[in-house]
Amino acid sequence: MKRNIAILGSTGSIGTQALKVISSHSDRFEVYALVANNKVDLLIEQARAYLPEVVVIANESKYKQLKDALSDLPIKVWCGSRAIEQVVQDGPLDMVLAAMVGFSGLQPTINAIKAGKMVALANKETLVVAGELVTSLALKHKTPILPVDSEHSAIFQCLNGEGDNKIEKIWLTASGGPFRTLSKEQLRHVTRREALAHPNWNMGEKVTIDSSTLINKGFEMIEAKWLFGVEPAQIEVLVHPQSIIHSMVQFEDHSVIAQLGEPDMRTPIQYAFSYPDRLKSDVKPLNFLELPQMTFEAPDTERFPGLLYAYEAIAAGGNMPCILNAANEVAVELFLQEKIGYMQMSRLIERTMQIASFVQSPSLDDYLHTDAEARRIARDQIVEFIN
């Protein structure tokens, strides 16, 4: 039987590549629902190509355009955040690809877990913000969470068949982004266009900026803690500019298992969709005789303090990772709008973490309140930067 999949964030980088995977294996997968935020024209194009049961646009002002464009097709057309939270619970649905960017992916993922739907998780902020809550719900409802991030997919693959063998260390690899060799002074003058030019990966704007500041790797460290039940001290970030080794696991006998491949997100997406099966892929295979020299170096947390903030946030626990995430989302948004400079993003995040209210044992309502408060505090910092 085909696996019915809802794609949350279908018009983004992960969503569009997921649809390519589905097209390559239309005998195994079927699109049940497509969900997008703003890109209504592309959503219309996708709906006509894949004929899902349901299409949802988060931006309610685009609803009429979407509904009118699909009026000749037997597709349900919904809008708004409530509709997104509802569609992930639909009966015929087997799997939800959670690829919405940022905090907005939290509630739909929780609803999918409660409904017993498999979750292919590409939204790392869900576990950054509320990892303890989400993983406990997954255990309670016996709902598998399959990682889609290339690094976490790599770790997941390295652990297959290892049973209860003790993990000594996880090596979380990072490309280092486009600015790993720049000085602090040079980083102050980085432009929006330069920051969006990632050397290896094709990603959306927000994730590309996060990758350049290394805070993305901090988020992935937090995500790995919750996915694989390890402590932050067991997770070491290793800059690997060639992005061939996607991550490694070291066991207590000091054996290291690594997962290698071309830097193409279709590989981890397909593995999450087909798990436990491996399917034929359109991704180019590695040719080891043509590979560049593979190099490794330690991350520089003085020039890129975002990684350090993530370790500090998870050490504090409670709602601190939620504060970190909210501050970062605002900082990236302001940088992309060219309202603050590249290095000012880290200052804004640090100040917000110092000011926002700390809650040791947060509930879902606490996370929602924290997110709103931290965003307000972060936006208030603009005045200081301008003056």
- What residue ranges do the domains of the chain occupy? 3-147, 150-183+193-300, 317-387
pLDDT at position 1 is 84
- The class that CATH gives domain 3-147 is alpha beta
CA distance 113 to 137: 7
pLDDT of amino acid 200: 65
63 Cβ partners below 8 Å, 6+ apart?
57, 77, 79, 80
Phi, psi at residue 139, to the nearest 5°? Answer: -65, -45
Dihedrals φ, ψ of 363, to 5°?
A: -95, 180
Helix axes 106-114, 125-140, angle to 10 degrees: 10
Token reading at 119: 């979750």
Query: What confidence tens digit (pLDDT) does each residue in 142-186 have?
Result: 999 999 999 999 999 999 999 999 999 999 999 988 899 999 999
Name the 3-class secondary structure at 268: helix
Enumerate the H helices of the chain as residue ranges: 13-24, 40-50, 63-69, 81-87, 106-114, 125-140, 150-159, 184-187, 192-195, 205-213, 215-228, 266-274, 306-316, 320-336, 344-355, 364-386
User: Sign of torsion, CA 267 272 273 276?
Assistant: positive
DSSP state of 338: T
Nearby residues of 32 by Cβ (< 8 Å), 6 or more positions away: 4, 5, 6, 52, 53, 54, 90, 92, 93, 94
Q: What is the DSSP string of 279-317?
A: ----SPPP-TTTPPPP--B---TTT-THHHHHHHHHHH-
**Backbone φ and ψ of 245, nearest 5°:** -85, 120
**Nearest CA-CA partner of 356 in 344, 348, 346, 364:** 348
Q: Which of 85, 129, 144, 90 is nearest to 109 (CA)?
A: 85
- Distance from C-alpha of 384 to C-alpha of 136, rounded to nearest angstrom: 40
Let me know if 102 is exposed, middle or buried by CB neighbors in 10 A (0-12, 13-18, 19+): buried
Who's near 176: CB < 8 A, 6+ residues apart?
Answer: 214, 239, 240, 241, 297, 299
Contact (CB, 8 A) for 218 and 307: yes
Q: Does the predicted model carry a pTM greater than 0.85?
A: yes
* pLDDT for res 382: 81
Q: Map residue 90 onto helix, strand or coil.
A: coil
Distances (CA, A) of 36 to 70, 84, 150, 206, 319: 15, 9, 22, 16, 28
CATH, domain range 317-387: 1.10.1740.10
Q: Tens-digit pLDDT profile for the chain (387 aa)?
A: 899 999 999 999 999 999 999 999 999 999 999 999 999 999 999 999 999 999 999 999 999 999 999 999 999 999 999 999 999 999 899 999 999 988 889 999 999 999 999 999 999 889 999 999 999 999 999 999 999 999 999 999 999 999 999 999 999 999 988 899 999 999 999 999 999 987 666 677 888 899 999 999 999 999 999 999 999 999 999 999 999 999 999 999 999 999 999 999 999 999 999 999 999 999 999 999 998 899 999 999 999 999 999 999 999 999 999 999 999 999 999 999 999 999 999 999 999 999 999 999 999 999 999 999 999 999 998 877 655
